[in-house]
Amino acid sequence: MIDFSRASLTQLSVSYIGNKGLGEELTIGEKTIEIQDDFVKETLVRYFTQGFKTDIYYKFKGKIDISLASVANACEDIFKNNNEFLNATKTIANHLYNQSMHPKIKGGELFIAHFADVTLDGELCDAIGMFKCENKETYLKVYQHLDNFEIESDNGIDIHKLDKGCLVFNTNKKDGYKLSIIDTNNKIAECAQYWEEDFLNAKLLPNGYYYTKNFIDATRGFCEEVLTEANNVSKQNQMMMLNKSTSYFKDKDRVNTNVFEKEVFQEPELIEAFRNYKTEYNNRLNLNDIEEFDVSQTAVKKNNKYMRSVVKLDKNFHIYIHSKHDYVEQGFDEEKGLKYYKLFYLNEAAG
């Protein structure tokens, strides 16, 4: 768990990172920013920290090489000596600018902050935060002059939405530190890896979220790629298995994969097919196969968007099936030469 209630913002710098590929400018702040107003400082800390998930952690890839101008090395310099903060932030700003080559990457302000006394999983540590603001919002300002009013507009930062952010905690140094990452503007495929991969060079840290996400992804891939009509599996049965496997993780703290297979897939042939698929999946992504893991409900919630409840029949009918898949039967009418679904229910809901 990440807790900033005891933390203090000790150093802050701001730079502007334009799109290098489009010839936009890089403007690096030459001094740290001193904030005297407590309300402004509290607002900044809240803006920087409020969106981070507490169970999704990353680490820097590989070993830290002091010969490389990387975020990992710059953070290492700050953690060793706070007086290196400004020089390290210039390195980080230059590094981000050099990664900003794709024409769809937006320019914006880069805030780099040093925090003291952050509580991470019950322990106090320092943290370095990097936050990039890419989108501005229009807001109105109203001025009163005696009995008259004037209204003006301006652009500013929406303090309720952080575009991109990373917290680097001064812990687990030998394993690449411990990071928490936000990227709400990664919907463009060509730019999806810009912040996490190109700039930070980070990867997921193996924990409950990591194992839950990978196992659910493998299960979903099996349902969508193997349980298909080409393999004599109806869309309804595929949907039933996909929803059943996804629902299995709800309200569970820990999962044994062997128990999961028996309860979800049941049939020995299906279990064997799933194990073969999972082995290929893990080998392809260089993942370890583990028998038990703690369940992350954050990963489960993210996967809910893949659950399906609609069976589309030609262009005439849609059947919504939210649960009770055993109340649905599928068959073929020889006389009419058409497929059919038979639905069983207890009560008809009021319209």
Q: Which two tokens stand for residue 65?
A: 């090489």
pLDDT of the residue at 78: 96
**Residue 150 forms part of a structural domain:** no
Let me know whether 216 and 171 are in one domain. Answer: no
pLDDT of the residue at 181: 96
pLDDT of the residue at 281: 94
**Residue 349 forms part of a structural domain:** no
Domain tally, the chain: 2
pLDDT of the residue at 308: 55
Let me know whether 44 and 174 are in one domain. Answer: yes
**Residue 53 forms part of a structural domain:** yes
Let me know whether 167 and 225 are in one domain. Answer: no
List the one residue out of 88, 8, 93 whose CA is nearest residue 44. Answer: 8
Let me know whether 189 and 247 are in one domain. Answer: no
pLDDT of the residue at 303: 74
**Residue 351 forms part of a structural domain:** no
- Collapsing DSSP to helix, strand or coil, 190 comes out as helix
pTM for the complete prediction? 0.79
* pLDDT tens, N- to C-terminus, the chain (351 residues): 899 999 999 999 999 999 999 999 999 999 999 999 999 999 999 999 999 977 899 999 865 555 566 899 999 999 999 999 999 999 999 999 999 999 999 999 999 999 999 999 889 999 999 999 999 999 899 999 888 999 999 998 888 889 999 999 999 998 899 999 999 877 777 788 999 999 999 999 999 999 999 999 999 899 889 988 788 887 777 877 888 888 888 888 999 999 999 999 989 999 999 999 999 999 998 898 899 999 999 898 887 765 555 566 777 776 666 666 667 777 788 888 888 878 888 887 665
Let me know whether 181 and 274 are in one domain. Answer: no
Let me know whether 229 and 329 are in one domain. Answer: yes
pLDDT of the residue at 189: 75
**Residue 148 forms part of a structural domain:** no
Let me know whether 194 and 213 are in one domain. Answer: no
**Residue 139 forms part of a structural domain:** no
**Residue 146 forms part of a structural domain:** no
| H or E stretch covering 273 | helix 268-285
Calpha distance 306→315 (Å, rounded): 22
Please list the alpha-helical segments (H only) found in 81-207. 85-99
Calpha distance 256→297 (Å, rounded): 16
**Residue 201 forms part of a structural domain:** yes
Let me know whether 179 and 82 are in one domain. Answer: yes
Let me know whether 10 and 37 are in one domain. Answer: yes
Last residue of a domain, one of 205, 232, 266: 205
Let me know whether 111 and 235 are in one domain. Answer: no
Let me know whether 338 and 189 are in one domain. Answer: no
Let me know whether 11 and 87 are in one domain. Answer: yes
Last residue of a domain, one of 152, 175, 205: 205
pLDDT of the residue at 326: 65
Report long-range pairs for 244-252 (Cβ below 8 Å, ≥24 apart).
Answer: 244/325, 245/216, 245/219, 245/220, 246/216, 246/219, 246/220, 246/300, 246/303, 246/304, 246/306, 246/307, 247/307, 249/212, 249/216, 249/295, 249/300, 249/303, 250/297, 250/300, 252/295
By residue range, what is the domain housing residue 106? Answer: 2-134+160-205
b (16+ CB within 10 A) / e for 194-219:
bbbebbbbbbbbbebbbbbbbbbbbb
Last residue of a domain, one of 171, 205, 239: 205
pLDDT of the residue at 64: 54
